[in-house]
A = this chain, B = another copy of it.
Amino acid sequence: MIWQYHIHKNIVKRSLEPIAYNQDTEALARFAKALGHPTRIAILKHLENQSCCFTGDLVEVFPLAQSTVSQHLKELKNVGLIQGELKPPKIKYCINKDNWNKAKALFQEFF
């Protein structure tokens, strides 16, 4: 049964170079990915109601560590759906209308 050893040695060669999809497809997937966690959806819904809020507010709303909330905010910021404004000693987060509308348009076009 020596062959078993060889069979289980299937080293996978991963295609390093990512597939180049068209711009809209990539953008839509990026937005969708950012929306792909209930906490982030909830954060955005909260921001839509309040228009703006501070990190601390969210930490009180969600039963999550402050660092975890911060991480979710970072992701939303990275795709551009929100933006932070320094209001010392706090940071005020708002929806980034431009990119919000971009995302909206992409989803509308898609569906």
- Give the interface of A toward B (CB within 8 A): 15, 19, 21, 25-26, 28-29, 32-42, 44-45, 62-64, 100, 103-104, 107-108, 110-111
Contact = CB atoms under 8 A, between A and B. Distances in A.
Copies per complex? 2
Given A32-B35, A32-B41, A107-B107, 13 more contacts: A15-B64, A19-B38, A21-B41, A21-B42, A25-B38, A25-B45, A28-B41, A29-B35, A33-B33, A33-B36, A44-B110, A100-B111, A107-B111
Contact of A29 (B21, B29, B36, B103): B36
A19 B63 contact: yes
Q: Which of A26, A63, A111 has the most chain B CB atoms inside 10 A of its CB?
A: A111
Nearest to A68: B15
A110 B28 contact: no
A110 B107 CA distance: 11
Contact of A35 (B28, B38, B42, B63): B28
